[in-house]
Amino acid sequence: MLINNDTIIKDNDPFIREKSMPVELPLSDEDRALLQDLYNYVKDSTDPEKAEKFNLRPAVGISAIQVGVPKQLTAVIVPTLDKDGNEITAEFMLANPKIVSQSVQPAYLDSGEGCLSVEGEHEGHVVRSARIKVRAYDAITDQEIEIRARGYLAIVLQHEIDHFSGTLFYDKIDHDDPYKEIPGALVI
């Protein structure tokens, strides 16, 4: 499937608000190929030459609904730290990811969130959980996995999983006070 900035569904299209359905496991060849295309988009979008050549906006994640497929499929590639503080890259091609637990502590990106489906500016704090646990099937490792995520990775996973219910990041901004102080929040 061709995925670029022209083919990604934008937030002015009501389809982006559709609910995504779980996929059957084991993955069909069609679902596996779509997950691979989503992953390739994210990977290629961070390469300046490929991004310019193929009209890709930089991304750390993308979900199937954004390319017109209402299925619970998402790919993420996020720079993060391991438990010892070493830089690593978390890479997942997830089917049916579910948040099974989350911290009470809130978190938000100080610079705000962005989305491939949102071209306009939507400033403000997008408050999410600082830590989450996600269960999913990962096509990279070809098994059911449990992800314990904190900080930026947790925010990215919550953002992508929100797409499955038709929720966009700016739905979570307090429009009366977009930059209100969030007591105890992890600011990233």
Cα separation, 162 vs 60, in Å, equals: 15
What domains does the chain contain, in order, with CATH numbers?
A: 14-187 (3.90.45.10)
**pLDDT at residue 90, as a whole number:** 96
With cut-offs at 50, 70 and 90, classify the pLDDT of residue 31: very high
**Beta-carbon count within 10 A of 97 CB:** 24
Confidence category of residue 174, pLDDT binned at 50, 70, 90: very high
Model-level pTM?
0.96
Q: Distance between CA 49 and CA 60 in Å, rounded?
A: 17
Concerning whether 18 is annotated as a catalytic residue, the answer is: no
pLDDT at 80: 85
Residue 167 burial (C-beta neighbours within 10 Å; 0-12, 13-18, 19+): middle
User: Catalytic: which of 113, 121, 160, 181?
Assistant: 160
pLDDT of residue 81: 79
pLDDT (tens digit per residue) in 80-124: 877 788 889 999 999 999 999 999 999 999 999 999 999 999 999
Structure confidence by residue, pLDDT tens digits, 158-168: 999 999 999 99
Q: What is the pLDDT of residue 94?
A: 98
Q: What does the pLDDT average to over 147-168?
A: 97
Residue 101 class from Cβ within 10 Å (0-12 exposed, 13-18 middle, 19+ buried)?
exposed
pLDDT at 171: 98
